[in-house]
Amino acid sequence: MRSCTDITTGIILLGLCGVGAWSVSNIPEAPTEGVGPATFPTIVLVILAALSLGLLVRGLFSAGRHKWPEAAILKKTMCFIGLFLAYLAGIVYLGDFFATMENPPFHSGMGFSVSTVLFLLLALPLLGRRRPLEVVLVACLTTAGVVAAFGGFFQVLLP
């Protein structure tokens, strides 16, 4: 029997990889560097496409009954997807908001930082984390680490 969940997820992820590949193909190449700005996203997309293809194959050839996820799991998944889409919109909106301020009180990555902290504060309990101190520490330290790595080390301007 086939696993409907694995097949559907594999197809959706392969479609997203296609959209990502199209987006990466529009990134201009760096004129002097051997490794350009499209290298890292390309590597991630290749890995994701390979894993998605593996999931699709596993779904097609899995033994046993096929079934969709339980209603509670499907509801939690849909809530997470909605939260993630709100996170992406928040990055753009807050980034634009802080960028258009005449005298912004924060640096250029504040839209990303605020959105990421809020996303993690809501996503971690949704995924099963219950200790408030753990949730707050993970949200703040993860955001600080990503901002330090990309904003400080890689010199990437964050929204």
Confidence of residue 98 (pLDDT cuts 50, 70, 90): confident
Q: What is the pTM of this model?
A: 0.71
Please spell the DSSP secondary structure of 11-63, one letter per residue: HHHHHHHHHHHHHHHTSPPPSS-SS-TTHHHHHHHHHHHHHHHHHHHHHHH--
User: The tokens of 82 are what?
Assistant: 């909605």
In the prediction, which pLDDT does 120 show?
A: 97
- Kindly report, residue by residue over 40-95, the tens digit of the pLDDT: 889 999 999 999 999 999 888 877 666 677 788 888 888 998 999 999 999 989 88
